[in-house]
Structure 1
Amino acid sequence: MTTIGIIGAGKVGTAVAQLALAAGDEVLIAGSPNALFLEQILAMTAPGARVASLDELAATAELTVLAVPFGKIDTVDLERFTGAVVVDAANHWEPVDGTPKILIGAGALSTSEVVQRRHPGVRLVKSLNHLGYHDMDTDAAPVGAPRRRAVAVAGDDAEASGRVAAFLDRIGFDPVHIGTLAAGGVLQPGEELFGRFVQRAELLAAAGLEGLAA
């Protein structure tokens, strides 16, 4: 049994939790400290998941999924995850988050690069942000299934990216490495891949990696 940590008990966090539980993983979820009745909520949305502290996630999870809005990431003490593998599934939504200058214009960074710069000790991997929670509910499929949905993996740490890819495969998706965190900008809202059902060849083509599609 693998231990998976999830930060955020919203729709994305609980959808990932359901998939991980179905794959036989132990799931620990840390929600907002102000969230009332979190255990009861999880009993309905992700039965089998257990409420845990950030410290427990950092100490025991093989990987942790960051499933909070981009604008709230700074409220999470990610320094506790120095050296740990963290999947950044967050997206920037301009009406909610505004548009920091670092995300626009010449030299703009992807949101995951922003998070990585703020927390350089975290082994950050960008994934799961280009599909919705409802897609997670409906599109997961076992290895060998026809038209298995591809999900991208972007990261600067090869071992961390490989660990995330293995997790994606286990929960029902075809993991596709597309390069560094910077390359992960193609997964964000407004880009061609965002929200689209794609398989491996189409995902690689959209990421400018057609030659790797074979």
Structure 2
Amino acid sequence: MSIIGFIGSGNIGGTIARLAVAAGHEVVLSNRRGPDSLAGLVAELGPKARAATPAEAAAAGDFVIVTVPLHAYKSVPVEELRGKVVIDTNNYYPQRDGKIAELDDESTTTSELLQAHLPESSVVKGFNNIYFKHIAELARPSGDAQRSVLAIAGDDEAAKKTVADFIDSIGWDAYDVGPLAEGWRFQRDTPAYGGVYFAEKPTDGGFDVPGRQATAADIEPLLKAAKRYRDM
């Protein structure tokens, strides 16, 4: 089993950490508020979890999950992540992150921004198009007929294999969308974003509805139907 570093330990990070520990992995959690703020989550997760600073979590992890708001991506440690696989869960929300010119003109994608910040790491996009509660709710053992898929994208095939193996260990199958540049196909406001896992349509515009299985056959046509923001 692996040691997984977390840079960001909120809804998404905490949910993945719970599944990881249940699968036998160790986790090293961090956030911007410091290790003491994670005492409750560490106590919940037990002896396979500990809290650290972001740099310490980056150094400790066999691979690392970055799940911080996009506007904070330049705070992600660079040296400690050299040579490592990094899973990026980010989405771009201009109202939260401010305007980012290269995303607004679609000359790059969110995960390519992180990859440029981490030139000697291997970034794989994943866990960005699903409501955090559905990550746990829809997890199923390997071979279960009700298993769902999670989209991933990355430029390094070995890195994607590492991520796919981890996703498998926590109850999901990976669906490889291709290189990082194709990650826009499951970004915010695309057909494969969020709703593919909804059992019913939200009534309040949010995501807090029961989840449903999403197979490769479900997600593939949605990825193909994706449009760039400029074409919406």
Report the TM-score when normalising by structure 2.
0.82
Counterpart in the other structure of 2:145? 146
Which amino acid is the alignment partner of residue 174 of structure 1?
Answer: D
Q: Per the alignment, in what secondary structure is the counterpart of residue 144 of structure 2?
A: coil
- The equivalences for 1:65-214 within 5 A come to 65-105=65-105, 107-195=106-194, 196-197=196-197, 198-208=214-224
Matched positions, count:
207
Which amino acid is the alignment partner of residue 176 of structure 1?
Answer: Y
Residues 149 and 173 in structure 2, CA contact (< 8 A), matched pair in contact too: yes
Which amino acid is the alignment partner of residue 10 of structure 1?
Answer: G
Deviation, structure 1 residue 200: 1.1
Deviation, structure 1 residue 55: 4.2
Counterpart in the other structure of 1:212? none
What is the rounded CA distance, in whole Å, between the counterparts of 1:201 and 1:74 in structure 2?
36
Residues 63 and 86 in structure 1, CA contact (< 8 A), matched pair in contact too: yes
What is the rounded CA distance, in whole Å, between the counterparts of 1:75 and 1:136 in structure 2?
26
Write the deviation string for residues 14-67 of structure 1: whole angstroms up to 9, x where unpaired.
1010010010101111221456532234324x4442112344433442211101
What is the rounded CA distance, in whole Å, between the counterparts of 1:20 and 1:34 in structure 2?
21
Relative to structure 1, the CA distance from residue 96 to residue 59 in structure 2 (aligned partners, 3 Å threshold; closer, same or farther) is: closer
Residues 153 and 178 in structure 1, CA contact (< 8 A), matched pair in contact too: yes
Which amino acid is the alignment partner of residue 29 of structure 1?
Answer: L
Over the matched positions of the two proteins, sequence identity in percent amounts to 32
What is the rounded CA distance, in whole Å, between the counterparts of 1:139 and 1:112 in structure 2?
25
Residues 4 and 63 in structure 2, CA contact (< 8 A), matched pair in contact too: yes
Report the TM-score when normalising by structure 1.
0.89
Deviation, structure 1 residue 118: 2.3
Q: Which runs of 5+ in 2 are unaligned?
A: 198-213, 226-232
What is the rounded CA distance, in whole Å, between the counterparts of 2:76 and 2:18 in structure 1?
23
Q: Per the alignment, in what secondary structure is the counterpart of residue 179 of structure 1?
A: coil
Q: CA RMSD for the aligned pairs?
A: 1.9
What is the rounded CA distance, in whole Å, between the counterparts of 2:102 and 2:219 in structure 1?
26
Q: Per the alignment, in what secondary structure is the counterpart of residue 37 of structure 1?
A: helix
Write the deviation string for residues 100-146 of structure 1: whole angstroms up to 9, x where unpaired.
110023x5211001111222111100011111211112111111112
Q: Which runs of 5+ in 1 are unaligned?
A: 210-214
